[in-house]
Amino acid sequence: MLKFGEITGVTRAGFGLMVQLLTYLVMSFNVPLISNHLTAEGYSPAFTGVSMAAVSITYIAAMPFVFYLSDRISRRGVILIGLTLLLNGMLITGLDKIYSFSNPGAFTIIGLSVFGFGFAQISIPVMPEILEAIEEDDNVG
């Protein structure tokens, strides 16, 4: 069984773990903010729940595309695209407050969908990357 120190001791694996944790932190930090924002705009808790489900739905829908993209370009390229999509997803989610658009719920769902697509591009390729890095380190040592 692997210990946490063995995983973080390998640079590539530690970086992959950091990317995963940062992604989870971004989403867990933003969920209460998004919920409060939608409630203040008059949306129901059910709408907030559905908008949060957009992340999972697009994550699942993106899996075949991520596998296809991983075959065409490097995993690191897919991860870079995923990080860019995460950034854009959060920016889209916050645009309604900046520009005072009339339908903040639509921006929330679109932004969270983009976030879910980016999250799939990060989490799917990163886990094999972490495991391969640990295996390579074990073979060298």
pLDDT digit string (tens) for 87-120? 888 888 776 666 666 677 888 888 888 988 888 8
Q: What is the pLDDT of residues 4-29, one digit of tens each?
A: 555 555 566 666 677 777 777 777 77
Give the residue among 91, 93, 85 at the shortest CA–CA distance from 69.
85
Q: What is the pLDDT of residues 36-48, one digit of tens each?
A: 878 888 888 888 8
Q: In angstroms, how far apart are the furthest CA atoms of the chain?
A: 59
Q: Render the burial of 61-75: b for 16+ CB within 10 Å, e for the rest.
A: ebeeebeebbeeeeb
User: For residue 48, what are the CA distances in angstroms to 8, 94, 103, 108?
Assistant: 36, 15, 14, 9
pTM, full prediction: 0.71
